[in-house]
């Protein structure tokens, strides 16, 4: 399902497209810095980069209001940024610093931010399907019109709780969208080895509205997401959105030698022929909505912005040791 | 400290089940964000009929029947609790908490901490425990020890209708996920319950009976067993003090330890499995806290380390009884 | 899907039909005695009667070999008998006696019998989906050609693990049939309130062969089950069989006043117009394969057989108390 | 009783991970019904690379990658175990056992008993435990106490490569469901491992270091911590005995109690949460068994009662270290 673009529509939506372009570049630059922090041994633990998948988070989150909810995954930096979080406090969290979104207690896989409706990244595969569904339940009860989006990788299709939640969401007609990011791999296994039957049919069988979209085409993602979000907000119930995408890097920053599970050729193909940023950039230039130099400038600008954010985080202090016992109980 | 026996003058008596229902009804009237979610909770009011009448008063939007999806609706409750609601989830048999462990332990218990204190999960999971109902191995377990082991959760085990009402109201108002265990064999137990709006704070033990010679620390239905044993002990001249921690976490260690120091002997009683269970923690707390005052090792009595058998004569020996507690206490006192 | 019956075929299959008739009557008579034991306060605890659903267990189990596996549910007496268990030892188990199939340790909800391939009833809704799938996995590994049948009520459709198992079964191409007994109710809730979308589509979405059948027509159940079992045995993978049926009694023997969740009228309709035993009986008589008197005699004969089995169980001793600690570890 | 230090002469050294792999390979060669099931176990050999090479030797039918369905494939393993196979299930992080509790506790643990001894479930669940890997609250838990609480299960916590190999082989040959916990921080630990086919029987503790003044009972990686602390203690003239129960169930109570009786002081160390955890059981067993010989209360040291924080300085204080154990032991000995 792709957007059919008329010149008139194009000029109306130009702000949106430029914003989405910028946001995708921001995510990519953010993740480049994460990889850098890992390589420089400045980051404790590991992180899962979202590079290559930017169009999904951006296309979906641009269809949401700030007060709408999202839940995210171990590969969550993109969702978090797309929903409006600041890079500096994110980096601080990744380094375990007090200034981080979770005072350093959460780390890369647990960033949460009530101010932007981010209910939290989750390190349990499919661990947030219940939370997203419950947030949609609250919206229905409180009548606040909020929509809830549950992001997850196709690996989460293996978890039974996903089907329990879809069943509940459909029975209660909840405003929740389940967004499946099919990047072809779980950790080191191709999804075809772990996924029988047909993905979209699984959601349809539970009565959900379901759609699939090229996850590298941010305009397509956005248009379809907007339709499903509007539908949910109107009270027409839950939906499932399948996005075909690809992670350029390894499962996590330390996953360097990948040839035993996927070919360099495949990686090359996705990077060169299906890159979501290049794709939108090319189109914007073609449509004369932006020029190459401006897009390049944006790149540099965001790179230096991210570097500044990193510097802030590196310089920020750790929490005091006696904070360890705080926040266990509210 | 509200103590049950002090309320014996109150002439209104309710069953344990009625006390639970009254607590829920009062909290649902007080706070429109409180709702109930579970299997057969609406028209049926649960198989134990504990919730009968709530659907009629509060309607389908606040008393919701779910599919048989313990993980699913518990997870939904976590998200609802984070975003402005106060869910009370009903897990029909405590044995089915096995299906909710990820939602309760990896999600509910950790959300507050992992978010640096930003999100909260004010939810209650009500479930059952207790054997001797001829329900066999998959419907008779008392698995509360698992939850006690998990930071971020609170765990409540009421032993009287009075405590049930007051503790459940406190649990619902608490800002944290609370697991509330009801012994299904106690639903018909009667006791005084004030009609007014009182709470029993979490973390305060209750001395259910004052005594001098031995301390019986007991939880849930074992409190009744301990009180029965205390009566038998009185006949042989042994004065037993019965202490009910009421909440396993937070745990009122001080009251347990002070009692054991005073009597110099203690038995801990709990219907969960004895091995690696609640009795181990309580015994260890007392053995440490009253180390220099104990005249004998702390004795533990929990469920026998076997899956609960169906056959009545076998099932009956798997849990402590008045008689076995009486005998153990007597032996401990050397009489 | 109903069997189209030709006279020639009919005479060839007459043994099968009479056997199925007898087996259905046996189950009904068994359950009548269970209810009796409860009413007479001779049975500890509760039991869930299979009356009304006999055609499902019988139709499916007649398509199996003795060495094939089944797993069963809390409403499991029918499956157990249909797979070949003896009523006397079943009653003994229901009374907690040493002579019972599980030495009295299991009770009504846990009868198991290796001799007839019964892996056990299960009191956890959907609790045996993994076990049945695993038995099919063993068959594949050991090459013994056994098929595994997982019986469950439509309530089990709420449990996510069912979808995990169907996914695994299809990926590994395991010889397992998931038999869903849709008797319209879980405990006290109509399945339409707990089941979104379409049941059969759920199985199809995971790639399984799926079929639905009138669960009150034992010949239809048998024919469809046979097709799916043969297919599985050939190595063509798992299947899902949906049987529409009805329990005449309450959820358990103590569930007497049912009008708050289902009407007497509905109960009456199923009993009078869709009874599986009456239906097959009528057909056998019409086809002149049996006469009414013979069928009636069978009824009486089985009734007295069941009474004898009850007497055996009532007279049998309990296990010795010190057996409580045995069988915890093998 | 095979004791690790007795094998120090063996000149072949393996890492903990290699010892696990060797045990699996040997058992798979010996018994064609043994197979491995889990996420990313085949080509990837798990994220920890513990299983590297097994796919190549045993093929896709015996080393199977699964979907991310911990409940699903654990359930499958239960059924396979009942019908002639010996599954070894891999649960990548111990935190994910939350998803398998129903299969392990309501099914695997109870099948033998509920069937009156007729069906058996000879399966092993291998999983990980241990914090300080900067993996935060959902990838750092040590939840073995839950399984210890469940009759029908056996629970193994190896602390050395030698024990890992011998105990895993014993676990695979056992007729019961066994949960086998590997501390992920120990995979690179080296130690002597004989190339021959030996087993370490389940239920036999091992005295890892002989001492006179204080007993340190320690499990899994805490054994290394205890040995380190013992070295520090030696410098201040305190002789510590280090006892490793090796299996939490069956539990070799006698060895623990005898050691505490001899030294008159004990600390129990375990990386699970201290509250309602393994330390409670072990402390209680010792406090009771050595009641008349103890000169001080048994001291418990486990993980702090908080979800494991990500931030390194915070995470580091949540678990016992050589230094904190040293100090606690010194205090307990009054020096
Ligand atoms: C319940 C659970 N099982 C296993 C894991 C380990 N794990 C972390 S990420 C991952 C793969 C996830 O794949 P997918 O959902 O496709 O997301 P992607 O990494 O591709 O974005 C696995 C198996 C986990 N975190 N949680
Ligand atoms: C996991 C779990 N949740 C809840 C229950 C309680 N329970 C027992 S039977 C039942 C209803 C089952 O309905 P269905 O699967 O349709 O089977 P039926 O009784 O109709 O044959 C419920 C909810 C249970 N045994 N296990
Ligand atoms: Mg993926
Ligand atoms: Mg049903």
Q: Testing the interface with A: which of B28, B32, B75, B81 to mutate, by most A Cβ within 10 A?
A: B75
Query: Tens of pLDDT along A278-322?
Result: 999 999 999 999 999 999 999 999 999 999 999 999 999 999 999
Tell me, in angstroms, the distance from the centre of ligand 2 to residue A197's CA: 28
- Other CB atoms within a 10 A radius of the CB of residue A216 amount to 25
Cβ of C183 closer than 6 Å to ligand 2, yes or no, is: yes
In angstroms, the CA C135 to CA D288 distance is 45
Q: Assign domain A13-317 to its CATH architecture.
A: 3-Layer(aba) Sandwich (3.40)
In this predicted structure, what is the pLDDT of residue D3?
Answer: 44
In this predicted structure, what is the pLDDT of residue D87?
Answer: 98
**Under 8 Å between Cβ of A216 and A55:** yes
Query: Tens of pLDDT along C130-145?
Result: 999 999 999 999 999 9
In this predicted structure, what is the pLDDT of residue A2?
Answer: 41
**Under 8 Å between Cβ of C136 and C102:** no
Looking at ligand 2, which atom is closest to the CA of residue C157?
15
Contacts A–D by Cβ distance under 8 A? 122
Do the chains contact at D276 and B105, CB–CB below 8 Å?
no
Q: In the predicted model, is pLDDT for residue B165 greater than 60?
A: yes
Query: Tens of pLDDT along C149-176?
Result: 999 999 999 999 999 999 999 999 999 9
Question: What are the tokens at D124?
Answer: 């092993």
Question: What are the tokens at A89?
Answer: 């406090």
Which residues in chain D are contacts of A250 at CB distance < 8 A?
A: none
C-alpha distances (whole Å) from B37 to each of A260, B90, B91, C165, C192 are: 47, 6, 9, 27, 17
Residue A237 backbone dihedrals phi, psi, to 5 degrees: 100, 180
Residue B34 backbone dihedrals phi, psi, to 5 degrees: -80, 130
Cβ of D249 closer than 6 Å to ligand 1, yes or no, is: no
Confidence of residue B69 (pLDDT cuts 50, 70, 90): very high
Task: Identify the nearest ligand to the CA of A46 by its number.
Answer: 1
Q: In the predicted model, is pLDDT for residue B118 greater than 50?
A: yes
In this predicted structure, what is the pLDDT of residue B9?
Answer: 52
Residue D88 backbone dihedrals phi, psi, to 5 degrees: -120, 110
- Other CB atoms within a 10 A radius of the CB of residue D48 amount to 18
Query: Tens of pLDDT along C256-312?
Result: 999 999 999 999 999 999 999 999 999 999 999 999 999 999 999 999 999 999 999
**Chain A contact for B202 (CB, 8 A cutoff):** no
In this predicted structure, what is the pLDDT of residue D335?
Answer: 86
Tell me, in angstroms, the distance from the centre of ligand 1 to residue A75's CA: 9
Cβ of C186 closer than 6 Å to ligand 2, yes or no, is: yes
Question: What are the tokens at D2?
Answer: 């095979």
In angstroms, the CA B19 to CA B26 distance is 10
**Under 8 Å between Cβ of C167 and C140:** no
Do the chains contact at A330 and B35, CB–CB below 8 Å?
no
Cβ of A187 closer than 6 Å to ligand 1, yes or no, is: yes
As beta bridge partners, residue A177 has A149, A239
In this predicted structure, what is the pLDDT of residue D319?
Answer: 97
How far apart are the two ends of chain D, measured CA to CA in Å? 34
Q: Best of A54, A57, A74 to mutate for ligand 1, by most ligand atoms within 8 A of CB?
A: A74
In this predicted structure, what is the pLDDT of residue D77?
Answer: 99
Residue C284 backbone dihedrals phi, psi, to 5 degrees: -60, -40
Task: Identify the nearest ligand to the CA of A187 by its number.
Answer: 1
In angstroms, the CA B332 to CA D225 distance is 38
Q: Which of residues 36-95 of D touch C (CB under 8 A)?
A: 61, 64, 66-67, 69, 71-85, 87
Q: Which of residues 135-164 of D touch A (CB under 8 A)?
A: 135-139
In angstroms, the CA B124 to CA D275 distance is 21
In this predicted structure, what is the pLDDT of residue A7?
Answer: 60
- Identify the CA nearest to B27 among candidates B166, B155, B160: B166
Tell me, in angstroms, the distance from the centre of ligand 4 to residue C215's CA: 13
Q: Which of residues 168-197 of A touch D (CB under 8 A)?
A: 186-189, 193-195
Catalytic positions of D, written as ranges = 139
Within chain D, residue ranges assigned H as helices are 16-30, 54-58, 70-82, 101, 109-114, 144-148, 161-173, 221-235, 253-263, 278-289, 312-316, 322-332
In this predicted structure, what is the pLDDT of residue D11?
Answer: 78
In this predicted structure, what is the pLDDT of residue C1?
Answer: 37
Length, in residues, of chain A: 330
Q: Does pTM top 0.90 for this prediction? A: yes
What integer best gives the mean pLDDT of chain B? 96
In this predicted structure, what is the pLDDT of residue B11?
Answer: 78
In this predicted structure, what is the pLDDT of residue B4?
Answer: 46
**Under 8 Å between Cβ of D37 and D81:** no
Beta strands D206-209; D240-244: pairing state: antiparallel
Say which residues have a Cβ less than 8 Å from residue A276's Cβ, sequence separation at least 6.
A24, A52, A53, A54, A55, A215, A216, A217, A218
**Under 8 Å between Cβ of A127 and A119:** no
Looking at ligand 2, which atom is closest to the CA of residue B139?
25
Q: Best of D46, D47, D68 to mutate for ligand 1, by most ligand atoms within 8 A of CB?
A: D68
Residue B48 backbone dihedrals phi, psi, to 5 degrees: -90, 0
Confidence of residue C251 (pLDDT cuts 50, 70, 90): very high
Do the chains contact at D280 and B275, CB–CB below 8 Å?
no
In this predicted structure, what is the pLDDT of residue C3?
Answer: 46
Helix (H, G, I), strand (E, B) or coil at D126: strand
Angle, in degrees to the nearest 10, between helices C54-61 and C218-233: 40
Sheet of A239-244, strands arranged across: A69-71, A148-153, A176-182, A239-244, A209-214
**Chain B contact for D315 (CB, 8 A cutoff):** no
Do the chains contact at A189 and D133, CB–CB below 8 Å?
no
Tell me, in angstroms, the distance from the centre of ligand 4 to residue C119's CA: 21
Residue nearest to atom 13 of ligand 1 (CA): A186
A8 class by beta-carbon count within 10 Å (0-12 exposed, 13-18 middle, 19+ buried): exposed
SS3 content of chain C, % helix, strand, coil (to 5): 50, 10, 40
Question: What are the tokens at A308?
Answer: 């500044």
Which residues in chain C are contacts of B50 at CB distance < 8 A?
A: none
Task: Supply the DSSP symbol for D11.
Answer: -
Length, in residues, of chain B: 335
For B311, the closest chain C residue by CA position comes to: C96
**Chain D contact for A141 (CB, 8 A cutoff):** no
Do the chains contact at B317 and C324, CB–CB below 8 Å?
yes
Sign of the four-CA dihedral D143, D148, D152, D155: positive
C-alpha distances (whole Å) from B75 to each of A126, A135, A176, A291, B196 are: 11, 10, 14, 48, 33
Q: Best of A128, A186, A250 to mutate for ligand 1, by most ligand atoms within 8 A of CB?
A: A186
Tell me, in angstroms, the distance from the centre of ligand 3 to residue A150's CA: 15
Name the residue facing D107 among C127, C136, C148 (closest C-beta).
C127
In this predicted structure, what is the pLDDT of residue D5?
Answer: 47
Question: What are the tokens at A235?
Answer: 């009270």
Do the chains contact at C107 and B44, CB–CB below 8 Å?
no
For B274, the closest chain D residue by CA position comes to: D149
- As for the ipTM of the complex, it is 0.97
Which residue ranges in chain D fall short of pLDDT 50?
1-8
Question: What are the tokens at C16?
Answer: 């099968």
Q: How far is D86 from chain C (nearest CA, A)?
A: 10
Name the residue facing C137 among D74, D76, D113 (closest C-beta).
D76
**Domains by residue range for chain B, with CATH:** 4-192 (3.40.50.970), 206-333 (3.40.50.920)
Which residue ranges in chain A fall short of pLDDT 50?
1-4
**Under 8 Å between Cβ of C276 and C218:** yes
Helix (H, G, I), strand (E, B) or coil at A232: helix
Looking at ligand 1, which atom is closest to the CA of residue A75?
21
Task: Produce one character per residue of C79-114: b if its CB has 16 or more CB atoms within 10 Å, e if not.
Answer: bbbbbebbbbbbbbbbbbbbbbbbbbbbbbbbbbbb
In this predicted structure, what is the pLDDT of residue D136?
Answer: 97
Q: Best of A46, A125, A250 to mutate for ligand 1, by most ligand atoms within 8 A of CB?
A: A125
Residue nearest to atom 17 of ligand 2 (CA): C153
- Other CB atoms within a 10 A radius of the CB of residue C202 amount to 28
Cβ of A182 closer than 6 Å to ligand 1, yes or no, is: no
In angstroms, the CA D140 to CA C154 distance is 38
Helix (H, G, I), strand (E, B) or coil at B36: strand
In angstroms, the CA B1 to CA B21 distance is 23
Every domain of chain C and the residues it spans: 13-317
Question: What are the tokens at A113?
Answer: 């931010």
**Under 8 Å between Cβ of C154 and C191:** yes
Q: Which of residues 6-65 of D touch B (CB under 8 A)?
A: none
Which residues in chain D are contacts of A329 at CB distance < 8 A?
A: none
Helix (H, G, I), strand (E, B) or coil at A120: coil
In angstroms, the CA B297 to CA C300 distance is 64
Tell me, in angstroms, the distance from the centre of ligand 2 to residue C125's CA: 5
Which residues in chain C are contacts of A176 at CB distance < 8 A?
A: none
- Identify the CA nearest to C108 among candidates C76, C69, C70: C76
In angstroms, the CA C104 to CA C81 distance is 17
Sheet of C176-182, strands arranged across: C69-71, C148-153, C176-182, C239-244, C209-214
């Amino acid at each position: 399902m792709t957007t059919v673009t008329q010149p008139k529509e194009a000029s109306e939506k130009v702000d949106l497209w430029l914003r989405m372009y910028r946001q995708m570049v921001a995510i990519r630059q953010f993740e480049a810095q994460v990889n850098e922090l890992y390589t420089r041994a400045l980051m404790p633990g590991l992180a899962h980069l979202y590079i290559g998948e930017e169009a999904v988070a951006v296309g979906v989150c641009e269809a949401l209001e700030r007060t709408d909810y999202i839940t995210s995954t171990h590969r969550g930096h993109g969702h978090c940024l797309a929903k409006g979080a600041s890079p500096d406090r994110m980096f601080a969290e990744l380094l375990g610093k007090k200034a981080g979104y979770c005072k350093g207690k959460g780390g890369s896989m647990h960033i949460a931010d009530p101010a932007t409706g981010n209910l939290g990244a989750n390190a349990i595969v499919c661990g947030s399907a219940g939370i997203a569904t419950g947030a949609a339940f609250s919206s229905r009860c409180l009548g606040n019109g909020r929509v809830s989006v549950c992001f997850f990788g196709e690996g989460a299709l293996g978890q039974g709780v996903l089907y329990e939640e879809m069943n509940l969401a459909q029975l209660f007609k909840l405003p929740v969208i389940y967004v499946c990011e099919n990047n072809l791999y779980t950790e080191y296994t191709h999804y075809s080895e772990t996924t029988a039957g047909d993905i979209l049919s699984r959601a349809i069988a539970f009565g959900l509205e379901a759609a699939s979209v090229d996850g590298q085409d941010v305009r397509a993602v956005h248009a379809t997401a907007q339709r499903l979000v509007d539908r949910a907000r109107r009270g027409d119930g839950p939906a499932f959105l399948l996005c075909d995408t690809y992670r350029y890097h390894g499962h996590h920053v330390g996953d360097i030698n990948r040839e035993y599970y996927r070919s360099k050729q495949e990686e090359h193909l996705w990077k060169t022929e299906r890159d979501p940023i290049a794709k939108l950039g090319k189109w914007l230039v073609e449509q004369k909505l932006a020029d190459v130099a401006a897009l390049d400038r944006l790149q540099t600008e965001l790179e230096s912005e991210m570097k500044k954010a990193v510097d802030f985080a590196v310089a920020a202090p750790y929490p005091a040791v006696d904070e360890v016992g705080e926040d266990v109980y509210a | 400290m509200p103590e049950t026996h002090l309320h014996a003058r109150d002439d209104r008596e309710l069953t344990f089940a009625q006390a639970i229902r009254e607590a829920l009804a009062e909290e649902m009237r007080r706070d429109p964000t409180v709702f109930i979610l579970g299997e057969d909770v609406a028209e049926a009011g649960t198989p134990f009929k504990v919730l009968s009448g709530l659907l009629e008063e509060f309607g389908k939007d606040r008393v919701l029947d779910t599919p048989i999806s313990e993980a699913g609706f518990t997870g939904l409750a976590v998200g609802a609790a984070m975003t402005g609601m106060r869910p009370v989830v009903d897990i029909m048999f405590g044995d089915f908490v096995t299906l909710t462990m990820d939602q309760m332990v990896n999600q509910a218990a950790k959300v507050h901490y992992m978010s640096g204190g930003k999100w909260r999960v004010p939810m209650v999971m009500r479930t059952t425990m207790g054997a001797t109902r001829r329900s066999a191995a998959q419907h008779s377990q008392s698995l509360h020890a698992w939850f006690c082991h998990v930071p971020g959760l609170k765990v409540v085990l009421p032993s009287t209708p009075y405590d049930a009402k007051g503790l459940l109201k406190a649990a619902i108002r608490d800002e944290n996920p609370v697991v509330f265990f009801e012994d299904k064999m106690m639903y018909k137990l009667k006791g005084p319950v004030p009609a007014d709006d009182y709470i029993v704070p979490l973390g305060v033990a209750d001395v259910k009976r004052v005594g001098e010679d031995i301390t019986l620390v007991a939880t849930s239905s074992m409190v009744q067993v301990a009180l029965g044993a205390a009566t038998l002990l009185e006949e042989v001249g042994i004065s037993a003090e019965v202490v009910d921690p009421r909440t396993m976490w937070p745990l009122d260690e001080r009251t347990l330890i002070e009692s054991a120091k005073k009597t110099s002997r203690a038995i801990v009683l709990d219907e969960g499995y004895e091995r690696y269970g609640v009795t181990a923690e309580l015994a260890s707390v007392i053995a440490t806290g009253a180390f220099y005052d104990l005249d004998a090792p702390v004795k533990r009595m929990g469920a026998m380390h076997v899956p609960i058998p169906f056959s009545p004569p076998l099932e009956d020996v798997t849990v402590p009884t008045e008689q076995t507690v009486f005998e153990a206490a007597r032996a401990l006192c050397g009489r």
